[in-house]
Structures are given as structure tokens and as C-alpha cells.
Structure 1
Amino acid sequence: MMLYPAMSKLNSYIPNRYMLVNVVARRARQISEAAEEMGEPLNDKPVTLAIREVAEGKLDARGMDLTIEEDVVDQETEQL
């Protein structure tokens, strides 16, 4: 089974696999929330759209704030 886009291409923009997962997950949430607010249906899944953005060079780790503290605050807020 061949993956598209290739992991090597994605790693050229975000060199760490774990950071890649984090960046894609955050962007997918942003895409999903924006579509929900506007009431627009998505033709593809948000994760697919986020991965495409990375593969096209539109998204990299520099554009995302990836601090652990922010993740903890987000998780605590969701639990309330």
C-alpha cells in the first residue's frame, strides 16, 4: 500500500513525525471548527485537508504554537 503524500515529502516540511502528527491534528481541528461555524460541509475529512496543506508547503511547524502547557490548559478546559 502506498501512502500519498509520501512521508519523506511531509518530513521535508516537518522533520519530526510526532510534531507532524501534532501539527496536522491542530490544523484539522481548526478546519473542522471553521467549517462548523460557517455551516459549510467538507468534501474531505479535516485531517486529509491538513495533510495536503503540509504536502503543498502551506503549513509547517513554525506556524503552530506547540507548547505542552497550552495542550494541558486545553485538556483541562474540555473537562469542565
Structure 2
Amino acid sequence: MILEPSIDKLQTKIVSKYTLVTLAAKRARQIQDTKIHNVENPKAATFVGLALEEILEEKLIIDPDYVMPKE
């Protein structure tokens, strides 16, 4: 089984693997709840795959100015 899109391609969009996984997981939950995604011709059959395709197509990005609140 080959993961598509590949981690190498995804890391050209988001360098940190931790950030990539966290963002994809959160977005996958949103897609699962709403059944709405931003990929025109998806290849993925899973919600995580759809989230990764959104990241690759730059339809889902991270705001570099966003800072996590301190507790």
C-alpha cells in the first residue's frame, strides 16, 4: 500500500511532520462531521486522505502568525 500524496510532497507544503499530522487529523474530523471537502477530483477514499489532498493542493494552510495560547 502506497500513501498518496507522499510525505515528501506534503512536506514541501508543511515542513513539520507533527504539524502535518495534527492538521490532517483535525481537518479529517471536520470532513467526517460535515461531509464537505475542498478537493475537486479526490483520489482518497478516507477522510484523512481528503485532508492530505487539501494540504497538497494548498486549500488548507497554517497561518504562520497563529500562536497557541498558553495555559
Q: TM-score range by the shorter chain?
A: 0.5 to 0.7
Structure 1 residue ranges without an equivalent (≥5): 36-42, 70-80
Counting matched residue pairs gives: 61
Q: Paired residue for 2:57?
A: 56
Note closer, same or farther for the CA distance 1:68–1:28 as it changes in structure 2 (3 Å cut). farther
Q: Paired residue for 1:73?
A: none
Question: Which structure is higher in helix share?
Answer: 1
- Alpha-carbon RMSD across the aligned residues, in angstroms, is 2.6
Structure 2 residue ranges without an equivalent (≥5): 36-43
Q: Distance in 2 between matches of 1:24 and 1:17?
A: 10
Structure-1-length-normalised TM-score? 0.61
Q: Which amino acid aligns with 1:33?
A: D
Is 2:2 aligned against 1:31? Answer: no
